[in-house]
Structures are given as structure tokens and as C-alpha cells.
Structure 1
Amino acid sequence: MAALNESVDVAALAVLRPGMPMAKVQAAMGSAWKPLAAHKGGKIDLLENSHGFVAWIDENGFIGMLNYDHRFLRPVEGIAMGMKIEQLRAAMPSLEIGDDIPMMRGVRMGVRHYPEGYTLRIRLTLETVNEIGFSNPAAEYPEPTEPPYPAAAGIPGAPFADPNLKLVVLSSLLDAKQIDLGTPAQLATHVLGRAVDLESEGYEIMPEAQDYLARYPLTNELLTTVEEIAFDGGGSVYRYVWHFWDGEDDVFNVTDLSGIELCRNLKSFSAISMIGKIDIRTLLSFGRLEYLSLSTGADHIETLLGLPTLKEVRVLDDEIYDEVTKVGTPARRVFDTLKDRGVRVWVHWVSATEPTPPAFE
């Protein structure tokens, strides 16, 4: 996945405009390009999470809309993400900046109309640019079809022992645009065989969606594309199972990591919630692991020294913090060795009395 993204021409993405042919988008995306998916209605979002870029192609094969969010690091029309409102006004005096949007305090929009017929909109949050978009109001887009869902197969959770671990992996694949589940409403319609209104039906688990995802076919090829795994209640996949889940219970907690070694190209592992202590020995099979963040506890800290590709380790844990801040302890020796190797380390307490001590770095 990373290799595909390296071929993206970000400079070419930045100069795309409504009215240009789709071929311009294809050329800028390089090997990350995939043919238009009929169920997307002209939307191209393959670079949404990696580059903060989305395009829409109209019925005639021309760009109708473009959106660049805070993750897009190249200036667009001379405007850069993070630019303050004073800088924005100086860079584009013709931009009309409105007041705060009703019900969205601190959010303002800047608008400029171009003679070619399209409109530029710049979103500012707390007077800072964080989104840039172009649109052609005359563009019409193809009607989206139903997504081509593969048939569910196998036992729930396979190839993992814990079906909830499979949801975590599916969330990673969704974020990387390696799989496409359509919208939560589209998946619900597919599994229930009828139209679904999630505004009224999304407040409970949908067993049919949960079963489908638990038996979603995962090939070895797909598993090798997984580079990041995050145990976090904010994961993309959960809104497909329980659309308005508030994250306040343990229904999606992971209790067994068996099978995670199949994601052999993993580079980032983050445990924020929804899982207990991580036995770091479980991670030894990941020969490319670079980033590790542990906020739910960890066992066998010494095993960190057996992860040769690590670049950064972050730990949020009272017990480990207490030990690592004492000279000569086993944990301190481990983290000192990591620092000597050039690994960035950060260990912080969860709870502490005043005055609060600093992080160990």
C-alpha cells in the first residue's frame, strides 16, 4: 500500500480543477488509481485517508468536484492547510469570508467564484484553513449502484479466533481502501434485503451485519496489505454493525489475538481501548513493525528489544512509568537501550498526584 502511495503526484493533484478530464486524475494518482466503482456515483476516494484528497467525476467523464482536507500537504491555489485567516486574506483578497456557520461556532467559509463556472470554498476552523474544495454547480453525477458485496463464507471470525479481532482488521482494510463496504445504509440494505433507515434502526446492534462481517472473506493477499492495526472504539467498521454505538460497553472487546500474525506486513500497532494487556511476545512475528502505542497495559516489556525495526514506542501505564523512571530497573534498561538504538520513546503515567511528573522520553 505504501509503495502505491509513493507513486502519487501530489503536485498534480493540487492543480486539478472542475472541467478537467478524468484522465488527469488518473495520471496524478499513478499506480494508486483504480477504475471507477459504479456504486460510488462518480466518487474517487482512494486517497482520502492517505492524502486527504477526494474527486467526483460527472456523467460526461469530467471533474465535477474536488476536496482537499487537512491531510493534504501541498498548497492549492496558493492556499496551504493551517494558514491563518490574516494570511488567507493576504493571499486571496477576492475571497469572501462569511461569519460563523449557524450551529457551528468557530467554523467559517470563504467563497470565490471563477469565470470558468466553478466555485472555490475554503473552510476555516478557529480561523485556520483546514479544508479546500472546488465544485461545478452544473455537474451531474451517475446514479450509484449497489456495491458488489462478496458472499460471506466460513466460520465467524476466520481466519482469526476472535470475531472482534476480525472487525479490527476489517477496519484497517476499510481505512486503507483495500475493501469497500459502501455506506452503512447500503450494507444494511444488502444483509436485510430491504431499505433501511439507520436514523431509526441504528441504535442497536444489527446481527445480520455483524454476522456478515464476521464471515467476510479475507484472502492472504488482503491480509498482506494490512500495515496498521488500532484497537479503538472509533474504528470505521463499528458504524456498520451498530451505527450509533457510543463505545461505552465491551461488546466489541478483543480477548484473543490468535491469527494476527497473518498480517505479516504490519508497521503500526496501537492499543487504545477494547483490549487488555498486550503480551509483546505476540508481536515478534512482525518483522516490519515501526510504531507501537500501548495504552491498555503490557507484559514482557523486555521483548521490545526483539523488534529490530522499531522507530517509536509510546506507553501509557502507571506501573511501567514507575519502573522506567527509576535508574537500574529492568524496564529502565530496556528503554535506555531502545533510545541508544535511536528509537523514540515516550512513557507516561495514567494517574498521578500533584505536582504531576513529566513523561519519560
Structure 2
Amino acid sequence: MAASGKPVDVAALAALRPGMPMSAVEKAMGSVWRAPAPHKGGLIDILENTYGVVVRIDRKGLIGSVNFNSRFEHTIAGVPMGISLADLRTTVPDMQIGAESKVRRATRFGRKQLPEGELAARITYDTVYEINISNPDAEYLEPTAPPYPAASGDPGAPFSDVNLKLAVLSALLRVKAIDLGRPEELASHVLSRPVDLEKEGYERIPEALEYLSRYPLSDELLASVDWIEFDGGAEIYPYVWYFWGGEENAFDIKDLSGIRFCPNLKFISVISMIDKVDIRDLVPLSKLERVSINVPFENIEALLDLPSLRQAGRFSGAPAARGVLETLKQRGVQVN
């Protein structure tokens, strides 16, 4: 069924429970709804990194479990996300709170029986960070590796810098616009054999990098990128080098100019991975609203040529920067 034109309904997400039909998930997700792909084993994780909600559908087509992470800053079945342990004991007195885990540091679990299933709250450092409601009797289809599209085009295309393409792929992974499966599944695909990354993940896998550098990116996919962050902890890097620790400059970006191929970018954050940002590379991004640069930069006056800019952060230093930032403030741009 096609997605509706309605926005995500947060209240409806909070009300999802085991036993409800999949149509309840579709209604709550509104315009972002996509039916789970056959290989996902009933997993609906489109909102995992945005709204913080993951649902799994059982073999009967009903919700078997629904998981809320800390991004979902709302109350679920009477349990507010982010509530302190002390307040939780008072607010939900019938919750059974266990002892601190021996395998997860500063973590314990609270459990409460609901009519629809069991609620489990993960409490880390005396704060609720995750809430799961599940039917313990639900049975699920087994997930499998996704179907991988054939690689095509030149390495990095349409970008001149392969590492910039990796960052864009990571942005697409974040919103589940593409599906690479698990790093181990991709490695097995490109090597055409079973792979155990616990043993083989200490070095870069050239075949994985080659595949990702030629991963087909349609204009539609590029247009869907509205948020990108350059950081060594990005989701894409374990697919190339599972145990990469950031010590080497293997994924540093030398040419940012290709970012123009993502015309609908609204937010860009540079935490690392780029030695120096030339702000002029951002000028083609007419919809860019928020910019955060935490590395050296040049040509900061180009910020004045961003018509949609609403927030600029982490700029400091030279007198020229202060002058530009003052002008932005006068235009109503929030400067941090």
C-alpha cells in the first residue's frame, strides 16, 4: 500500500502494542511508511535513527514487539523515556526493577506485565534509555541478507572523492533509504564466501570498498539526503573496515565540492574526516539551513551566500569570521 500524505503521528507510535495489525504501524508512520522488505524478517526500522522506534511483525502479520530508544522522548505505557530511576520507582510502583547487570556496566532492567505483553525498560546510569514491549509467544520469519544492486559506474560517482560518497551512503543508511544488511553480510556478498568479521575485520576489505564506491545512486536517492554528518563514528565505515579505530586517515575527504549533488541538504555537520572545509563548496546548497563546522575552514564569507541559512555553529577565530557571523546575526541567523 502506498504511503499516505500524513506526517508521523507520535502519539500513535507511543500507543503501538503487540497484537495490533501492521496497518496500525502504517497509519502511525504516515508519509514515511514503507512495507517491510521480505528479507527483513518483519522488521520495520525506518524510524530507528530519527524517531527512535523499531517494530517487528510476527508470522501472523501482527505486531510482535515494539522498541523505543532514547530518541523517542515521550511516555510509553506510563513510563516516560529519560525518567530517573528514583522517579521511576515512584511513578511506576508496580515495575519490578532488577539488580545491576554483571555484563552491562551501570545497567539494570525494569519489567512490568501489560495486557498486550511484557514491558522491559533498560535503565543505564539510573536513567531509562530504552523501552521494549513484546509478546513472548510471537514467532517471526528469519531475516536474510538483502538483495544487493549491481555495482555500476566509476568509483565514487557522481562524486570525485570516494570517501565523500561513503559519507553520503552513511546518511542514506541512517534514514534506511538503502539497505546494506549487516557488515558481515556485505562482506560475504562481495567475497562470495562466508565471512567472520570477528576474525577478518581487522583489515580493510578492498572488495567492500570497491562495491560501495560503485554503489548505484539515483537522482531520487541523492535528492532524499537532507542531513549529513562527517564523523569517524559514521555507520558506513564498519562495512569497509570492521574494527577501524580512526587511527589512520583511510576515510578522510579531500574534495567536498561534490556535495552539490545532494541538492536538498538542510543540515551539515563536520566533526572530523575533513582537514579544512572550503565554505564555498556549500554555496550550491540553496536549501541548507544549519551548518556546524568543528574543523578548520576558509572563505567563511560564503555563508552570506546561503539563502536558507538559519543556524551557524562552531565558527570562531579570525576577525573576518567575527564580522561575517555578526552580519548573519543581523539577518536573524542563530550563531553559536
TM-score range, shorter chain: over 0.9
**Aligned-pair CA distance for 1:140:** 1.0
Partner of 1:49: 49
Q: Superposed, which structure 2 residues align to 1:209-228 within 5 Å?
A: 209-228=208-227
Letter in 2 for 1:58: D
Contact 2:73 2:82 in 1 (8 A): no
Q: 1:87 to 1:5 in 2, by over 3 A?
A: farther
Contact 2:101 2:107 in 1 (8 A): yes
Unpaired segments of 5 or more residues in structure 2? none
Partner of 1:71: 71
**Aligned-pair CA distance for 1:342:** 2.1
Letter in 1 for 2:16: L
SS across alignment from 2:212: helix
Q: Superposed, which structure 2 residues align to 1:127-142 within 5 Å?
A: 127-142=126-141
**Aligned-pair CA distance for 1:272:** 1.2
Q: Which moved more, 1:293-302 or 1:164-173?
A: 293-302
Letter in 1 for 2:27: A
Q: 1:181 to 1:156 in 2, by over 3 A?
A: same
Q: Superposed, which structure 2 residues align to 1:1-361 within 5 Å?
A: 7-116=7-116, 118-315=117-314, 320-321=316-317, 323=318, 329-346=319-336
Q: 1:165 to 1:103 in 2, by over 3 A?
A: same
Q: Deviations over 1:241-264 (max 9, x none)?
A: 111110111011111123221101
User: How far apart in 2 are the matches of 1:115 and 1:149?
Assistant: 41
Contact 2:66 2:132 in 1 (8 A): yes
Letter in 2 for 1:85: L
User: How far apart in 2 are the matches of 1:74 and 1:271?
Assistant: 29
SS across alignment from 1:259: helix
Contact 1:39 1:182 in 2 (8 A): no
**Aligned-pair CA distance for 1:36:** 1.5
Q: Deviations over 1:318-357 (max 9, x none)?
A: xx42x3xxxxx433221111112222212xxxxxxxxxxx
Contact 2:268 2:291 in 1 (8 A): yes
User: How far apart in 2 are the matches of 1:123 and 1:145?
Assistant: 28
Unpaired segments of 5 or more residues in structure 1? 324-328, 347-361
SS across alignment from 1:236: coil
**Aligned-pair CA distance for 1:9:** 0.9
SS across alignment from 2:28: helix
User: How far apart in 2 are the matches of 1:19 and 1:174?
Assistant: 29
* TM-score, length-scaled by structure 2: 0.95
Q: 1:167 to 1:5 in 2, by over 3 A?
A: farther
**Identity across aligned pairs (percent)?**
53
Contact 1:266 1:286 in 2 (8 A): yes
**Aligned-pair CA distance for 1:41:** 1.2
Contact 1:228 1:268 in 2 (8 A): yes
SS across alignment from 1:66: strand
**Aligned-pair CA distance for 1:308:** 2.3
SS across alignment from 2:184: helix
Contact 2:270 2:295 in 1 (8 A): yes
Letter in 2 for 1:248: E
**Aligned-pair CA distance for 1:127:** 1.1
**Aligned-pair CA distance for 1:6:** 6.7
Q: 1:272 to 1:153 in 2, by over 3 A?
A: same
SS across alignment from 2:119: strand
User: How far apart in 2 are the matches of 1:279 and 1:33?
Assistant: 37
Q: 1:55 to 1:105 in 2, by over 3 A?
A: same
Q: Deviations over 1:112-138 (max 9, x none)?
A: 12354x210011111111111011111
Letter in 2 for 1:110: G
Partner of 1:352: none
Aligned length: 334
SS across alignment from 1:204: coil
User: How far apart in 2 are the matches of 1:219 and 1:4?
Assistant: 23
Q: Deviations over 1:54-110 (max 9, x none)?
A: 001111111111100111122111211121122212221110111211132321110
